[in-house]
Structure 1
């Protein structure tokens, strides 16, 4: 009989034995006899229009079987987890690394030689590498609907009145950097046809979403595509996006042969999602006793060339912009902005690490302004049962931040008794 109650009991990990013994086969370890090797020709410019692609020299290289371009996509040439704005193979370049052509060859060396032999004529367009330039009036449009993808607004109370009543007001601009996930395993996978079923095995965190986008791009019914998640050597959000899946599906479907694709480290860095860089303008206001009165926040997130998880990430940043602190008056706007940088997507924390750095910095600055300890100002403002959040939600169950603060401080005093009874 199946044991349902496993809480509090040691449970062997299903994949544990294979990982500790080294027998686990990750995506790059998968092999099919006779599989073709796939390589992608990527743009060397950040913004431009592809005017001509000449693959004639590449196709004469021994071992090269095919070269595919955007014209070879049989379905709808766009995919994306929230917004379908990213082409599999493009004739409009939006970042340095955009995929222009796909090579299939009998061996990796032939595929690499073909990349060098493909001739591409590009009309370069002015690139936009920072949020301010992309949002400026008259800036070139990276996408047809403009460079501001989404705007999230959260308004509550009367911020301006609260600012006038405040004893302390702190305003700062913060910037955070773009971050690569850096998982050990790069993107990889295989694909093959089994009768009329396209099967893709790949390193992914999103097999069901992958399946829908592959079917869309290839013009196939959903029941003719199967995506299997291979053992995945690290993801952290970075393998939620499509990487090799559509390339594998296109080549296997067109050529009727099994195919394999493995990104090298440079390609993984260039062509996959990153943590969003933020610019945040943040104003905090507090009364003389340290009670928070208001925050006014403007968040600008660089989602790069494509949306990926950008709209959700910026929404999450806006929702969490007040942190674990009760704030009666809020004015928050978060902008998700296209640039010609590598695209940004999901990464652990999903927009919250960036904004947490900001609101905690603001709390420290308010404490200094009011000559209070950083611990005490947090004690006075933490969310409790009954608190109302920035979005108007009343918290009715347990809220652990207060107990966590006290436990952390007690432990700090144990380890470093010289801190005294409070922190400065």
Structure 2
């Protein structure tokens, strides 16, 4: 394929939506407006863990301009959603698991009327002990977010004999690494608009996952999927954070209840408080190498804080564990991973999907091993990098298209060119 001309690859192309954006013609979710449209806002928990003992929305109905107030009791379907595990309520009925959990949602003629209605809602909550450290959450006596316990998922990867690997190692480096919870911080906050015509529901959303949204709306409204249409509005950034539901079901429910279009836009505070995050990791890593520079052993424990709900937690954990050894061939590997519920904000998908965290750890290990061995860190990496025929930690044989060695070489050459 070298020297071959391509229509797209290697060419400078116009971004398909660039013109309408720079001209201001792109219609984002908040640009949508319909005759008779109502505005919606969410009443949320201010405590991280508790049980709702009493919820009274009667005074919210008395606020001028309010057309509907819905709670968990008004949801005709399952009142659950989740990308992998359906553990998150659309509206909390009893068990609050994080600050920002939605309890009720109101629809009114104006945003100001919504605010007055939210202020009129009365709730009695029995606060429960909360747990914010995933290591503490794994203990038997920790506050339980779920009856089954706080460990959402586990993952184990074993290759070779880890004890033999360290016996053959001349140098061993062991460290603990922690990464933090990260916000996507997309420019556009979450926004959803719903209309109802007859028995047909249409939802416009700032989303990365319209097909999933459609299924979850139908499940929770108790209608056939062919009665729900989801349109992805022009989306002002997502990076994985708009794969989960935000207000799609809530606006659809309010539109059904009122018979009018309904729009719900998150404030920036809501967006940061309620959207999914990059998983914080705690990693114990031990790596061994021979004095000639050959990697021999890699042992690690990974604890991922998935927050109050699962979201993509099991998938992120697996991806992190699978990629924990990096692009290096190591004959003896033992990796144990845990995804743990806490009362922190929910962690889900974010660019790299669990791999940037482990990359930080395994590359630090490589640098420290190279230093101890007295080897150039680039040459040390090239010595151990995958090549055709390499076997990964999961036993996959890489038969072709293994570009890491050439990538490293070209990156070094470019760096030298730029830095002199």
**TM tier, shorter chain?**
over 0.9
Instruction: Show the counterpart of 1:218.
Output: 221
| Cα deviation 1:10-51 (Å, max 9, x = unaligned) | 654442221111111100111112111110011000000001
Instruction: Show the counterpart of 2:65.
Output: 63
Classify the secondary structure of the residue corresponding to 2:287. Answer: strand
Instruction: Give distance in 2, aligned partners of 1:361 and 1:112.
Output: 49
TM-aligned CA deviation for residue 5 of structure 1: 6.3
Matches within 5 A, 1:184-223: 184-223=187-226
Decide which of 110, 118, 122 is 2:121's aligned counterpart.
118
TM-aligned CA deviation for residue 8 of structure 1: 5.6
TM-aligned CA deviation for residue 250 of structure 1: 1.1
Classify the secondary structure of the residue corresponding to 2:117. Answer: helix
Q: Note if 1:237 corresponds to 2:265.
A: no
Decide which of 79, 84, 87 is 2:86's aligned counterpart.
84
Gaps of 5+ in 1: 418-424
Q: Note if 1:30 corresponds to 2:32.
A: yes
TM-aligned CA deviation for residue 334 of structure 1: 1.2
Instruction: Show the counterpart of 2:3.
Output: none
TM-aligned CA deviation for residue 359 of structure 1: 0.2
Instruction: Show the counterpart of 1:17.
Output: 19
> Contact conserved, 1:168 with 1:287, CA < 8 A, in 2?
yes
TM-aligned CA deviation for residue 185 of structure 1: 0.3
> Contact conserved, 1:30 with 1:189, CA < 8 A, in 2?
no
Q: Note if 1:94 corresponds to 2:97.
A: yes
Classify the secondary structure of the residue corresponding to 1:85. Answer: coil
Instruction: Give distance in 1, aligned partners of 2:360 and 2:25.
Output: 41
Instruction: Give distance in 1, aligned partners of 2:372 and 2:56.
Output: 65
Q: Note if 1:47 corresponds to 2:68.
A: no
Instruction: Give distance in 2, aligned partners of 1:414 and 1:61.
Output: 68
Under a length normalisation based on structure 2, what TM-score does the superposition of the two structures give?
0.96
> Contact conserved, 1:199 with 1:228, CA < 8 A, in 2?
yes
Classify the secondary structure of the residue corresponding to 1:53. Answer: strand
Deviates more, 1:388-397 or 1:57-66: 57-66
TM-aligned CA deviation for residue 9 of structure 1: 5.7
Instruction: Give distance in 2, aligned partners of 1:12 and 1:366.
Output: 45
Instruction: Give distance in 2, aligned partners of 1:203 and 1:23.
Output: 17
TM-aligned CA deviation for residue 327 of structure 1: 0.7
Instruction: Show the counterpart of 1:420.
Output: none
Instruction: Give distance in 1, aligned partners of 2:199 and 2:312.
Output: 32
> Contact conserved, 1:169 with 1:286, CA < 8 A, in 2?
yes
> Contact conserved, 2:181 with 2:280, CA < 8 A, in 1?
yes
Q: Note if 1:150 corresponds to 2:153.
A: yes
Instruction: Give distance in 2, aligned partners of 1:410 and 1:89.
Output: 55
Classify the secondary structure of the residue corresponding to 1:303. Answer: strand
> Contact conserved, 2:68 with 2:257, CA < 8 A, in 1?
no
Q: Note if 1:371 corresponds to 2:354.
A: no
Decide which of 123, 128, 132 is 1:129's aligned counterpart.
132
Under a length normalisation based on structure 1, what TM-score does the superposition of the two structures give?
0.95
Q: Note if 1:297 corresponds to 2:295.
A: no
> Contact conserved, 2:221 with 2:253, CA < 8 A, in 1?
yes
Instruction: Show the counterpart of 1:385.
Output: 388
Instruction: Give distance in 2, aligned partners of 1:412 and 1:213.
Output: 48
Q: Note if 1:276 corresponds to 2:282.
A: no
TM-aligned CA deviation for residue 278 of structure 1: 0.4
Instruction: Show the counterpart of 1:286.
Output: 289
Q: Note if 1:412 corresponds to 2:415.
A: yes
Matches within 5 A, 1:312-351: 312-351=315-354
RMSD (Å) for aligned C-alpha atoms: 1.3
TM-aligned CA deviation for residue 165 of structure 1: 2.0
TM-aligned CA deviation for residue 416 of structure 1: 3.6
| Cα deviation 1:117-165 (Å, max 9, x = unaligned) | 1110001111011101110112222022211010011111000111122
Q: Note if 1:250 corresponds to 2:262.
A: no
TM-aligned CA deviation for residue 114 of structure 1: 0.9
| Cα deviation 1:164-194 (Å, max 9, x = unaligned) | 2210111100000000000000000210112
> Contact conserved, 1:80 with 1:308, CA < 8 A, in 2?
yes
Classify the secondary structure of the residue corresponding to 2:147. Answer: coil
Q: Note if 1:362 corresponds to 2:365.
A: yes
TM-aligned CA deviation for residue 407 of structure 1: 1.6
Number of residue pairs aligned between Structure 1 and Structure 2: 414
